[in-house]
Amino acid sequence: MNMRIPILKLHDTLLISIQWELDDQTALQFQEDLLHKIHETSARGVVIDFTSIDFIDSFIAKVLGDVISMSKLMGAKVVITGIQPAVAITLIELGIRLEEVMTALDLEKGLEKLQRELGD
């Protein structure tokens, strides 16, 4: 059941599209894999797309918030894209705020935002 989330490299950016419901182990494995990949590739930016995800609970939100802070420590900026309306509503009602996090409506806008942030 434990599947790894693929991390793609595009120039100095890493691209991740979460395609299925995350269980705890997959989320934690992803956290580790992403940090290793940043280290390996010297990536400066990361886009994580959630278009296919229909809910995020407090555990996934915590793992996500942590991996964004960890990536920042390693010099990489992270943009979250594709959060569905139902997911945004549920997260705020649950009491979770990812306030320091860069977001964009979709992958395309996320990549544009990242390019501006990275200054090229």
Contacts with other proteins, residue ranges (CB under 8 A): 1, 21, 23-25, 54-59, 61-62, 84-87, 89-90, 93-96
By C-beta, is 12 or 87 nearer to other proteins? Answer: 87
Min dist CB 34 to other proteins, Å, is 20
For residue 83, the surrounding DSSP H or E stretch is none
Q: CA 41, 46, 91, 85 torsion: positive or negative?
A: negative
**Shorter beta-carbon distance to other proteins: residue 95 or 119:** 95
The CB-of-51 to other proteins minimum distance in angstroms stands at 14
Closest-CA residue to 22 (of 11, 31, 9, 12): 31
Nearest-approach distance from CB 53 to other proteins, in angstroms:
10
Query: How many angstroms separate the CA atoms of 86 and 35, rounded?
Result: 29
